[in-house]
Structure 1
Amino acid sequence: MRLSFKIPILLGAVASLSACQYDVLAPSGWVAAEQRDLLVISTLLMLIVIIPVIFMAIWFPLRYRADRPDQSDYAPNWSHSTRLEYVLWGVPIIIVAILGVYTYIYTHRLDPYRPLEATEIGTEIGEPLEVEVVSLDWKWLFIYPELGVASVNELAVPAGRPLNLRLTSSTVMTTFSVPALGGMIYTMAGMETKLHLIADEEGTFFGQAAHYNGPGFAEMHFDTEAMSDADFDQWVEKARASDDALTRDAYLELEKPTMDADVQYYSAVDDGLFDRIRGLCVEQGKVCMDQMMMQDEQGGGGLAGIGDKHKYQYDDQRAVDGFGNLIGTPSEPAAPAHDTHDDSDKLSMNTHEGEAQHGN
């Protein structure tokens, strides 16, 4: 009776798992394939210890149980075996050493800040495509600075071309992840991270926010469309045919929290918008984060700067409650668009970019 009850449960479990996509073990990009190989190698090495331990955990209690018929092997004064010590210490040391070597190799090979090279991939690859990624509440914005277009919740890429991703967040920290292509990296407000990927084949690959970031987290996902060069050119033309342009005002409207946002295209993007998003200074009158840090380094504004504190406040406009509704006290009126900080912002952003490139 118990067996007949369990069979439907087991069949239901198998049926529910049959629709799962194991992208980590069946990757579609060079980075993901390398990560898969490291995972398999590490698992096999650890099984060298795990399998004998499981075997001994079952065999020893059965072999030396108190009610066994033959107890002639009972040795109460036994205390040492050099051969056994060699096995117990030698095998783990060898495994840890091998794991250390592989970890060192793959850590440098798969450094997310390191551009992909054709010599490592082993095949001829096209010119890298620059994409700027912004995590919003709760959607993804993809800006193509070289093409002058942008999209929401759809990342279109040409297969066989490396992707150079610059990532930031408009609000809380979250994680960018496309399991089929490999790599996972945080996006953080006021900061920039980098990731390099490539799609080896055409297809649609699931992307998501892999770090809980609020009530809209479950619906914060997107499709990565890997396509041929010709299809990608058509996609770009489709984006350029959009009636919407991603100006600073349009971005501030897009930045407002929404859940389960539809795919959207922008035919044009304001110059330097990503740097302003990273600096939290898209709104007119706001001081960019790098400019603020420069001022702090020089001693700050003192008492005379109290009247300008609204230029340095960022979080009150982005705080949300448990349902995703904006809360907090609105900012004071911002300075006019011709405020002199705009020029200094551009200078500081250029300086910041130069230092980052020098550091890389």
Structure 2
Amino acid sequence: MPHLPPVASAARVLKGRWAPLALLALLPGCNMVVMNPSGDVALQQRDLILISVGLMLLIVIPVMVATVVFAWRYRAGNKDAAYDPDFDHSTMLELGIWSAPLLIIIFLGAVTWSSTHLLDPYRPIDRLKAGQPLKAGVKPLEVQVVALDWKWLFIYPELGIATVNELAAPVDRPITFRITASSVMNSFYIPALAGQIYAMPGMETKLHAVLNEPGTFDGIAAHYSGAGFSDMKFKMLGMDQSGFAQWVERVKADPRRLDASIYTRLEKPTEKVPVIRFATVEDGLFGKIVNRCVEPGKPCMSDMMGHDRRGGGDPHSMRPGSGSPPVNDAAPMHGDKAEGALLKDPGEKGTSPHQSKERLPGSPGNAAPGNERNRDMTALDPRSTIPHARAAGAADRA
């Protein structure tokens, strides 16, 4: 057999039965960012993974060991093993089978409940890292995030700048992300910083996080959103305060301005978009993106919903009462039971014209404040919803 050079010998080993072990030897060179993050929130999430796996292994490992022990001890060739064909119950065995999983489930449930509240993405962070609480008066850096097809737009309202496919933040300063999307649902995810949070058109989600180490980190779209999804990536730059200030100055040196007309062009689907920087941003642009009214003359969703609460009608005219009547329009003026506005939440009251119902002999209700029967004591004033009735009422008053 001819002598093979070292490279060829290694190739034969990789192709042989030892290939899996050879590949395992290469794993230490991988950067498992989820298990080695650079942000405190992601670090706490990593700890949850380790705790969960450890709790499961408390069951898995003993079961695997017991399987081998039982198979060896009670093998056909072991004549010394006890043989008890009438065995049907063991109190100690039952306690072990049920108590250990039950305790693990209780502990895991407690950890899950507490971490769900402590790591809620909407909850502002109260520490920079373990043992270092957040000082009072520290203002988070707000970053407005828009998932476009197929790129990421970042707006810094405090600084008046914006970037595409490049995110920067100072180390050890809280970050508040306000997240939305332009057309389809997506997912904003920086593994080294925090868990993923969805971006949805016409809605705003939030994420609070902090970066504890400088460096360059990968950000991705973690939800399939079409043809350019695989290249919808960006870099997050973590730097000290002076480095971040220099980065801001570089962005402000760019002559471009992000306004509604530029955004509508940016919103069109494009792939593999390089970094774009904008020195200035139109005021209120993010709010228009969330409310889907960037185009001139298009009514905003918030205005339309408020208009609907006031009575509906033509959304372009925004004239209260010009269309469908307000809610609770079926309430009779002198009926036995009104669909009362008192059933509303406090924030909803006043969105429809209601009046206190006239107390009639034998009518329901109770004079005691807070009595449940008092929920029947409201009615809709028909003069506020029917134009000719309003006119008739005005004539009567005249």
Correspondence 1:127-146 to 2 at 5 A: 127-146=139-158
Partner residue in 2 for 1:228: 240
1:63 aligns with 2:43: no
In 1, the alpha carbon distance for the partners of 2:14 and 2:273 equals 46
How far the C-alpha of 1:53 sits from its partner, in A, is 1.9
Q: Note the alpha carbon deviations across 1:73-107, whole angstroms, 9 max, x for none.
A: 22111111000111111001110111112112211
How far the C-alpha of 1:124 sits from its partner, in A, is 6.0
Partner residue in 1 for 2:90: 81
Q: In structure 2, do the counterparts of structure 1 residues 19 and 171 end up closer, same or farther at CA, with 3 Å as the change threshold?
A: farther
Q: In structure 2, do the counterparts of structure 1 residues 70 and 149 end up closer, same or farther at CA, with 3 Å as the change threshold?
A: same
Q: In structure 2, do the counterparts of structure 1 residues 20 and 212 end up closer, same or farther at CA, with 3 Å as the change threshold?
A: farther
Which SS does the other structure have where 1:141 is aligned?
Answer: strand
The one of 103, 108, 128 equivalent to 1:99 is 108
In 1, the alpha carbon distance for the partners of 2:308 and 2:20 equals 63
Partner residue in 2 for 1:174: 186
Partner residue in 2 for 1:43: 53
How far the C-alpha of 1:217 sits from its partner, in A, is 0.9
Partner residue in 1 for 2:303: 291
Q: In structure 2, do the counterparts of structure 1 residues 298 and 75 end up closer, same or farther at CA, with 3 Å as the change threshold?
A: farther
Partner residue in 1 for 2:167: 155
The one-letter amino acid of 1:80's match is H
In 1, the alpha carbon distance for the partners of 2:309 and 2:67 equals 61
How far the C-alpha of 1:168 sits from its partner, in A, is 0.4
Which SS does the other structure have where 1:183 is aligned?
Answer: strand
Larger Cα Rg: Structure 1 or Structure 2? 2
1:29 aligns with 2:39: yes
Q: Note the alpha carbon deviations across 1:152-188, whole angstroms, 9 max, x for none.
A: 0010001110001100000111111111112210000
**TM-score, normalising length from structure 2?**
0.71
Instruction: Indicate conservation of the 8 Å contact 1:162/1:197, yes or no.
Output: yes
Q: In structure 2, do the counterparts of structure 1 residues 253 and 84 end up closer, same or farther at CA, with 3 Å as the change threshold?
A: same
In 1, the alpha carbon distance for the partners of 2:102 and 2:132 equals 37
Structure 1 vs Structure 2 CA RMSD: 2.4
How far the C-alpha of 1:294 sits from its partner, in A, is 2.9
In 1, the alpha carbon distance for the partners of 2:272 and 2:119 equals 32
Which SS does the other structure have where 1:6 is aligned?
Answer: coil
The one of 38, 53, 57 equivalent to 2:63 is 53
Partner residue in 2 for 1:261: 273
Partner residue in 1 for 2:17: 6
In 1, the alpha carbon distance for the partners of 2:211 and 2:94 equals 48
Q: In structure 2, do the counterparts of structure 1 residues 19 and 263 end up closer, same or farther at CA, with 3 Å as the change threshold?
A: farther
In 2, the alpha carbon distance for the partners of 1:8 and 1:104 equals 43
In 1, the alpha carbon distance for the partners of 2:19 and 2:77 equals 39
In 2, the alpha carbon distance for the partners of 1:5 and 1:128 equals 55
In 1, the alpha carbon distance for the partners of 2:304 and 2:29 equals 50
Q: Note the alpha carbon deviations across 1:235-279, whole angstroms, 9 max, x for none.
A: 111111111101000000100101111000001111111111011
In 2, the alpha carbon distance for the partners of 1:278 and 1:121 equals 35
Which SS does the other structure have where 1:146 is aligned?
Answer: coil
Which SS does the other structure have where 2:71 is aligned?
Answer: helix
**More helix as a share of residues:** 1
The one of 109, 131, 136 equivalent to 2:118 is 109
Instruction: Indicate conservation of the 8 Å contact 2:13/2:19, yes or no.
Output: no
The number of residue pairs the alignment matches comes to 306
Which portions of structure 1, spanning 4 or more consecutive aligned residues, are displaced by more than 4 angstroms?
1-4, 12-15
In 2, the alpha carbon distance for the partners of 1:249 and 1:128 equals 30
Partner residue in 2 for 1:314: none
Instruction: Indicate conservation of the 8 Å contact 1:153/1:264, yes or no.
Output: yes
Which SS does the other structure have where 2:33 is aligned?
Answer: coil
How far the C-alpha of 1:212 sits from its partner, in A, is 1.0
How far the C-alpha of 1:19 sits from its partner, in A, is 5.2
**TM-score, normalising length from structure 1?**
0.79
Which is bigger in relative contact order (C-alpha 8 A, separation at least 6)?
1
Which SS does the other structure have where 2:58 is aligned?
Answer: helix
Instruction: Indicate conservation of the 8 Å contact 1:32/1:179, yes or no.
Output: yes
In 2, the alpha carbon distance for the partners of 1:68 and 1:144 equals 75
In 2, the alpha carbon distance for the partners of 1:62 and 1:8 equals 30
Q: In structure 2, do the counterparts of structure 1 residues 300 and 61 end up closer, same or farther at CA, with 3 Å as the change threshold?
A: farther
1:90 aligns with 2:102: no
Instruction: Indicate conservation of the 8 Å contact 1:183/1:197, yes or no.
Output: no
Unaligned runs of at least 5 residues, structure 1: 312-338, 342-354, 356-360
